[in-house]
Amino acid sequence: MVIVVANEKGGTGKTTIATNLAIMRAQEGNDVILIDADPQGSASEFVKVREDEGVTPTITCVSITGRAVASEVRKLIPKCTDIVIDAGGRDSAGLRSSLVVADILIVPFLAGQYDIWGVENMNELLEDALAVNPDMKTYSVLNKMDTNPRIGLSTDATDVVTEMKNLQLMNVKIGYRVAYRRSAAEGRAVNELDKKDSKAIAEILALYKEALNGV
């Protein structure tokens, strides 16, 4: 199965979600390859920290960018059970290419107006991608939601995103939580951190289940 986490917009949680999902697949005994399709190399950095810390299960990370993503992924498919692609926003050729081979696409977004435009662009980009790859399941998910319920911005944002033709808004919403920042710094999934945040663990598990539901 090929899972792509993408958004043209930066800083929306692509690497955080891709690395957590890759580890969760591996924790269930799957043979996972994480593809760092972002020239910034954050997913590769994450895996380096994980290796240095000796955390298991180990994750193989391969860096592939640009138009080669689809053809390289096709070569890797027989060699593993799962491929998770962190598709960086700065590499639009890599992003488009990854959409050709994706079974599941997850687009994390933030609640601000500029961030909604990013999702709108993704929605448009998907018009062509779905013509080529019509079986791809496509989801958007709100990330870094303010955990203070009095702040209504996130509801405004989700109202707009609910209307999108090519992206289904996930029921799960990911809160702004220190555990996700720690996850990145320590090369661990949130469920592997010493200091357990049960809300973060439950959220990411809900995202995992919702994304894989019906595949």
Ligand X SMILES: Nc1ncnc2c1ncn2[C@@H]1O[C@H](COP(=O)(O)OP(=O)(O)OP(=O)(O)O)[C@@H](O)[C@H]1O
**Exposure of 203 by Cβ count < 10 A (0-12 exposed, 13-18 middle, 19+ buried)?**
buried
3-state secondary structure of 24: helix
Establish if 181 lies at the interface with ligand X (CB under 6 A).
Answer: yes
Establish if 10 lies at the interface with ligand X (CB under 6 A).
Answer: yes
Among positions 123-142, residues that touch Mg ion (CB under 5 A) are none
CA 112, 9, 17, 205 torsion-angle sign:
positive
Q: How many residues of this chain bind ligand X (CB under 6 A)?
A: 20
Quickly tell me which residue has 């998907």 as its tokens.
126
Selected binder of ligand X within 21, 33, 37, 38 (CB under 6 A)? 38
CA distance 47 to 51: 6
Selected binder of ligand X within 1, 11, 45, 206 (CB under 6 A)? 11
In the complex, minimum distance from the CB of residue 134 to ligand X, in angstroms, rounded to a whole number: 26
Q: Which is nearer to Mg ion, 41 or 112 (CB)?
A: 41
Quickly tell me which residue has 């955990």 as its tokens.
147
CA distance 22 to 27: 9
Q: Which is nearer to ligand X, 42 or 168 (CB)?
A: 42
Stretch that binds Mg ion, among 41-49, 112-120, 150-158, 163-171 (CB under 5 A): 41-49
CA distance 117 to 89: 13
Residues near ligand X (CB under 6 A) are: 10-16, 38, 40, 42, 88-89, 143-144, 174, 176-177, 180-181, 184
Residues near Mg ion (CB under 5 A) are: 14-15, 42
